[in-house]
Amino acid sequence: MLFHAMESARVNSVAEVMAVGDTPLDLQAGTNAGLRAVVGVLSGASSAELLQREPHTHILPSVANLPALLPSKV
C-alpha cells in the first residue's frame, strides 16, 4: 500500500517518505518499506505501550505534533 501511494504521488525514493499511523501494523509497514521516518501517534487506536514495541523513529502524543518533524521549506 505504501509503495502504491508513492507511485500515485510520483515519489521515487523511500528517503522522502514518512509513515504515520496509530497501530502496530502501521509501524511495521513503514519499517518494512524502509521509509525515512516511521511515526506512531497516540491520538488513535493504540496505546503507547503497544506502539513502542514496534520499530519506529518517533512516538507522538497527537497528529498535531507532526509539523514539528517536517523540514522547513523556507
Torsion over CA: 27, 28, 29, 31 (sign): positive
- Model pLDDT, residue 72: 58
Domains and CATH numbers, the chain: 2-64 (3.40.50.1000)
- Model pLDDT, residue 44: 84
- Model pLDDT, residue 53: 96
- Look at residues 15, 16, 27, 19 and name the one whose alpha carbon lies nearest to residue 2: 19
Model confidence at 73, pLDDT cuts 50, 70, 90, reads low
> What is the per-residue pLDDT across 3-57, written as a single tens digit (0 to 9) for each?
888 889 999 999 889 999 999 999 999 999 999 999 999 988 899 999 999 999 9
Residue tagged 505504501 (cell numbers): 2
Question: Taking 70 as the threshold, does the pLDDT of residue 74 lie above it?
Answer: no
Three cell numbers written together for 73 = 521549506
- Model pLDDT, residue 70: 85
